[in-house]
């Protein structure tokens, strides 16, 4: 059974993950409207990943006998100047999510809920990957800025596909 404090925090995290999905879908729309379909694809896959993260938390709350309580999702920012700005915003957002996950780990430890702590460690590792991906894309975009390089990056990002995270695919968490 989840403690009331941990249940509340996990429900808040579900909403944060859904907001992340909504944010990346808004960013995909920006890329689509600027004729960068590969970057739009990358963001659409990112949106799917974030929605799946929300479902991992959703399922976990239910597995532990808690009641899921979804919060309101704020309207995401959608006004950007150039592609690199979106990936800088992505990095900043992922750093916020990392802090939230770390706070959940600390709360689980304080509540002596080691099952929840164990489940959260998958997210700790996931956040390292999320931040690294954003930093790599920022560095690459800052090198090329526009023209043929931007075209090539857009094509490469168009190849990204969604892979169901292990906790939803029946793999180890």
Closest to 78 in 3D by CA, of 35, 117, 25, 18: 25
* pLDDT surpasses 70 at 44: yes
**pTM (two decimals):** 0.89
b/e map of 121-135 (b: 16 or more CB within 10 Å)? ebbeebbeebbebbe
What SS3 state is found at 12?
Answer: helix
Cα–Cα distance, 105 to 118 (Å, whole number): 9
Can you tell me the mean pLDDT for 161-169? 86
Question: With bands split at pLDDT 50, 70 and 90, how would you rate the model's confidence at 172?
Answer: low
* pLDDT surpasses 60 at 162: yes
Phi/psi at 163 (nearest 5 deg)? -120, 125
Closest to 38 in 3D by CA, of 95, 86, 92: 86
Per-residue CA distances from 31 to 143, 145, 151 (Å): 19, 15, 13
% the chain with pLDDT above 90 = 80
Tens digit of pLDDT for each residue in 91-138? 999 999 999 999 999 999 999 999 999 999 999 999 999 999 999 999
Domains, in order of start, for the chain: 4-164 (1.20.1260.10)
* pLDDT surpasses 60 at 173: no
pLDDT for the residue numbered 156: 86
Cα–Cα distance, 150 to 166 (Å, whole number): 32
């Amino acid at each position: 059974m989840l403690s009331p404090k941990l249940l509340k925090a996990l429900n808040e995290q579900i909403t944060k993950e859904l907001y992340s999905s909504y944010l990346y879908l808004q960013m995909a729309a920006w890329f689509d409207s600027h004729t960068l379909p590969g970057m739009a694809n990358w963001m659409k896959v990112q949106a799917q990943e974030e929605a799946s993260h929300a479902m991992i938390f959703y399922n976990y709350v239910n597995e532990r006998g808690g009641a899921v309580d979804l919060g309101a999702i704020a309207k995401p920012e959608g006004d950007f100047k150039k592609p690199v700005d979106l990936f800088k915003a992505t990095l900043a957002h992922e750093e916020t999510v990392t802090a939230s996950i770390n706070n959940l780990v600390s709360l689980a430890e304080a509540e002596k809920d080691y099952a929840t702590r164990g489940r959260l460690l998958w997210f700790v590792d996931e956040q390292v990957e999320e931040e690294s991906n954003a930093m790599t894309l920022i560095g690459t975009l800052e090198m090329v800025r526009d023209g043929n390089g931007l075209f090539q990056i857009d094509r490469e990002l168009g190849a990204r596909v969604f892979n169901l995270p292990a906790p939803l695919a029946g793999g180890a968490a």
